[in-house]
Structure 1
Amino acid sequence: MRKFSKEIRKVVIKVGSSSITHDNGKINLQKIDELCYEIANLKNRGIDVILVSSGAIAAGRAKLNLKERPRETSDKQAAAAVGQVALTNIYDRSLISYGYNSAQILLTRQIEKDDEMRINAKNTFEKLQGMNAIPIINENDTISTYEIKFGDNDTLSAVIARITEADLLIMLTDIEGLYTDDPRKNSEAKIIREVKDISNVEGMAKETKSNVGTGGMFTKIKAAKLAMEKNIEVVIASGENMKIIRDIVKGEEIGTYFKC
């Protein structure tokens, strides 16, 4: 069993598009419902949860019957505008069934540079946590430009963990954790269960993109580094089964643990 450096009272959970969509790109309703169940159960235990969820563009693509992921910026922004509504409604229906409300928060990178904006966001998170509401965060794709864009929700999740002073950041992805090489291409690749010095693994990951999302292990390591700078521990694990969340918080040796 793992022993975290401090008691886990606040968790930021990041889910990528691939964790909440089917192979055809459409939203996986069962996976979202399972995720909401795990979040609600953590809240019932007295652990505050903030969710950073990708999937707006994927949801918009499905709703607009687009055959491929949009490539032009304006097409992505339009798909995100449609998809964000659909995605939030799905989360809201599931959370309500477990006794909680959802709160949608869309951010840009300005939150890192603007002190007033950052303080306002932190205050909002704190109020929501006392109001039976789960903050669900995504990048504001519709208005984001290169200068104010996070570019991936891994980075966004680390920034949110820092702002809210979370104890643990969980990033769920489509593989079990950080490997010595890409396990989908190299059968000899071995999973790394614990990282204490992140400089030892910074050069190991390659940047990847899938048909439904952006960001691979490269962005997750960068995000882990951001979190660890503020003494926030990180676990990267597979989002194949959402029950993994309870096991991670319990201290099971799952995925890759970035220990402060």
Structure 2
Amino acid sequence: MSARPAALPEGSRVVIKVGSSSLTRDDGGLDLNRIDVLARLVAGMRQRGHDVVLVSSGAVAAGLPPLGIEHRPDDLSMLAAAASVGQGRLMARWQAAMSNYGVVIAQVLLTAQDVAVRSHYRTVRTTFDTLLDLGTVPIINENDAVATTEFNLGDNDHLAALVAHLVTADVLILLTDVDGMWTARPGTPGAAPIRYVPGGRSLEDVDVTGSGSALGTGGMRTKAQAATIACASGTATIIASADDAARLLGPGGVPTDLGTWFEPTGPHRPSRRLWMAHASRVEGRVLIDAGAADALTVGKKSLLLPGVVGVNGEFESGSVIEVIGPRGPVARGICRYASTEIEEVLDARGSGAPMPDHLVPVVHRDDLAELPRLAS
């Protein structure tokens, strides 16, 4: 496509993510007017034939004032406590607002376990499909009350990209406090908005170093990464200001002077590959040389032992591993060797022993999911 679309695809399935900074007032309380506006817009989208899933931040922010805490804490237990207090308050506000427009909502709190474990992942997909078939608007957040430092879904931009995979969304909309992506931080001399990113265009030269707000966890970098992940699997992505939500989500189409539209860089992929690439829990890493990286990405081949130059971590056969090339992560896949077996081969190679013939692939092509290059 050579030009930015001026409307959402007819009857498309849309995931909308709204961040903490867009749902809170300057004093830290929930912005009830913003919630009501978004509820009205979502109801209108439903009436026009769109399936809508909402990823809502704000649980921690909603829980801080009742606890008498002025600033977002760094301590994990304090964050969990604030989320536990705030999640109910947040959902009560969404429930009240959506019901005014005849919309039934469904709360879904996800954990990393729900998307990292394949059987859980399939169950969550089925649940989403059923909720959308019933005409509800699922409202998603991470279950921060039980998340751990070692095993969590990270920021809600990444969560929204995973949800877009789970529901096979046509469009992911990331609402934030900035009008899309810019060539440099807004206000910098010469900075200009980027309104359209065609499929395959590189963002490596774009400044995405801005941090998130005082109440949020993400910045433009996390949104660019979420867009890259979603687009690689067939989901167009829009990054836009929540202040422009009425123009962006209303019946008049998507104005081309708002936000940044990212075209998909690949087709919708089977859920198994989506799970391996972006939702599975990585048990270890295998380092490969440039030739093997080209064989995987250009030649679309399996990963063979001669291209492996190192191994990191301990894992068993059948584990999901990350494949690291000279320029960074290349793919994830299900390894057919244990880490100790790969290390034995590498040690034998280092001593000059010949490589045996007819070796089983380290990761077979059928068990491999390439990773998109993320904004750094």
TM-score (norm 2): 0.65
The answer to whether the Cα contact below 8 Å between 1:31 and 1:242 also exists between their aligned partners in 2 is no
Q: Does 1:178 align with 2:181?
A: yes
Q: Which structure's residues are more often helix, by fraction?
A: 1
Instruction: State yes or no: 1:215 paired with 2:228.
Output: no
- Hey, what's the Cα distance between the residues in 2 that align with 1:194 and 1:8? 22
Gaps of 5+ in 2: 265-376
Aligned mate of 1:82, from 85, 103, 123:
85
Q: Quote the Cα distance in structure 2 between the aligned partners of 1:138 and 1:249.
A: 29
AA in 2 matched with 1:43: R
Tell which has more relative contact order, 1 or 2 (C-alpha 8 A, sep 6+): 1
Question: How many angstroms apart in 1 are the aligned matches of 2:194 and 2:150?
Answer: 34
Match of 2:32 in 1: 29
Deviation of the 1:148 alpha carbon: 2.2
User: How many residues are treated as equivalent by the alignment?
Assistant: 259
Give the whole-Å Cα distance in 2 for the aligned partners of 1:37 and 1:4.
Answer: 19
Tell me if structure 1 keeps the 8 A contact 2:185–2:210: no
- State whether residues 174 and 239 of structure 1, in contact with CA within 8 Å, keep that contact through their aligned partners in structure 2: yes
1:256 to 235, 257, 260: 260
Structure label with greater radius of gyration? 2
Amino acid corresponding to residue 247 of structure 2 in structure 1: I
Whole-angstrom distance in 2 between the partners of 1:167 and 1:8: 10
Structure 2 CA distance for aligned equivalents of residues 119 and 13 of structure 1: 22
Q: Distance in 2 between matches of 1:33 and 1:23?
A: 18
Kept in 2: contact 1:106–1:138 (CA 8 A): yes
Larger CA deviation: 38-47 vs 111-120: 111-120
Are 2:63 and 2:84, in contact at CA under 8 Å, matched by a contact in 1?
yes
1:41-62: CA deviation from partner (whole Å, max 9, x where unpaired): 1111111000001000000012
Which of residues 60, 64, 74 in structure 2 aligns to 1:61? 64
Which deviates further from its counterpart, 44-53 or 117-126? 117-126
How big is the shift at 1:248?
9.1
Q: Spell out, residue by residue over 1:4-61, the C-alpha distance to the aligned partner (whole angstroms, 9 max, x if none).
A: 7954520000000011111111100000010011111111111100000100000001
Residue in structure 2 matched with residue 139 of structure 1 by the alignment: 142
| Residues 201-212 of structure 1 mapped to structure 2, 5 A cutoff | 201-202=203-204, 204=206, 205-212=208-215
**Residue aligning to 2:358:** none
SS in 1 for 2:144: coil
Match of 1:113 in 2: 116
Length-normalised TM-score, structure 1:
0.93
Question: How far apart, CA to CA, are the structure 1 residues paired with 2:135 and 2:185?
Answer: 40
Kept after mapping to 2: 8 A contact 1:106/1:140: yes
> Aligned to 1:84, what secondary structure does the other structure show?
helix
Structure 1's 85 and 106: CA in aligned 2 closer, same or farther, altered over 3 A? same
The change in CA–CA distance for 1:249 and 1:224 in structure 2 (over 3 A counts) is farther
SS at match of 1:43: helix
